[in-house]
């Protein structure tokens, strides 16, 4: 999954944890930047 794909989808669900797991499930396990982007999206829910 490309970072641009992550930014476009934003994984806007009612449950931020569900959004996080949906996001990381679409990442390649070797792609640390994809997983990091998912973590950043999850952090945005705290704001």
pLDDT at 28: 92
- pTM, full prediction: 0.62
Cβ atoms within 10 Å of 42's Cβ, excluding its own: 17
DSSP state of 14: S
pLDDT at 6: 52
Structure tokens at 47: 């704001």
Cβ atoms within 10 Å of 34's Cβ, excluding its own: 19
Positions of the chain with pLDDT lower than 50, given as ranges = 1, 4, 8
DSSP state of 36: H
How far apart are the C-alpha atoms of 9 and 46, rounded to whole Å?
18
How far apart are the C-alpha atoms of 25 and 47, rounded to whole Å?
24
């Amino acid at each position: 999954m490309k970072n641009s794909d992550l930014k476009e989808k934003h994984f806007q669900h009612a449950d931020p944890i569900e959004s996080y797991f949906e996001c990381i499930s679409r990442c390649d396990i070797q792609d640390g930047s994809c997983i990091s982007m998912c973590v950043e999206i999850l952090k945005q829910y705290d704001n």
